[in-house]
Amino acid sequence: MPKLADRDTRHTQILEALLRVAGSQGLHAVTMRSVAAEANISLRLVQYYFETKEKLLLAALDHLAGRQRERIQTRVLDTDAPDDPRTIIEAVLTEALPTDQDSRTFHLVYTAYAVHAVTDPALAAQPFLRAPDAMEHFLADQLRHAQRDGILPPHRDPRTEAAILLALSAGLGTGVLLGQRTAENATTAISYHLDHLGLARRPA
């Protein structure tokens, strides 16, 4: 009966189960047992692949970050102008909003991790801040390109603007997650902000 799956398959299977639990019932509902049940495997097998809960959680965080990276990349490449700064930036920021179940889960779980990291040194040591940090640099680069291309006013400071964009989309995302704001409301605000930045689309 027990079909053998290779390690990678099992790993992702378990991690996806974890994310489903965390996404629907919160990170506090993630236990070795609940994950096993969600994945339809025995508790013992979860122990087999991830010896401790801490390792399991760290792996899940990694998995989550990877999925989000893929999502964003896909979103950018799916636009009609994947080399136009305005298009890229708007796609990135919009993708970061919790619109569908997947991105809701991402936001929820990631935020929960972040909260834990503030008081848990082991988690804080994790490459947690690297993703948003990289994103900020990426945005700053795009803004610099835009300035060179003459589609962003020269008096704008790319570094600061990038920080603002990132904080803005994170804040809006949280608002959407809490039901305090609709996703449409948030996307509108992002477009509005980019418009007033003076960040135009590159003419074809």
- In angstroms, the CA 132 to CA 69 distance is 11
Rounded distance, CA 140 to CA 119, Å? Answer: 30
Radius of gyration from C-alpha coordinates of the chain = 19
Within 151-170, the residues that bind a second copy by CB under 8 A are 156-157, 160, 163-164, 166-170
Answer yes or no whether residue 24 interacts with DNA by CB under 7 A: no
- The first and second tokens of residue 187, run together, are 């996307």
**Using CB distances below 5 to 8 A depending on partner kind, what does residue 157 bind out of a second copy, DNA, none?**
a second copy
**Residue found by looking up tokens 């495997």 in the block:** 41
Cα atoms in the Cβ-side hemisphere of radius 13 Å centred on 159: 0
Yes or no: say if 89 and 194 are a contact pair by the CB < 8 Å rule.
yes
Q: What is the nearest approach in angstroms of DNA to the Cβ of residue 131?
A: 25
Binding mask 51-80 for DNA (x = CB under 7 A): xxxx--------------------------
Quickly tell me which residue has 């965080």 as its tokens: 61
Residues near DNA (CB under 7 A) are: 1-7, 10, 29-34, 41-45, 47-49, 51-54
Residues near a second copy (CB under 8 A) are: 24-29, 108, 111-112, 114-120, 124, 128-129, 132-133, 156-157, 160, 163-164, 166-172, 174-175, 177-181, 185-186, 188-189, 192-193, 196
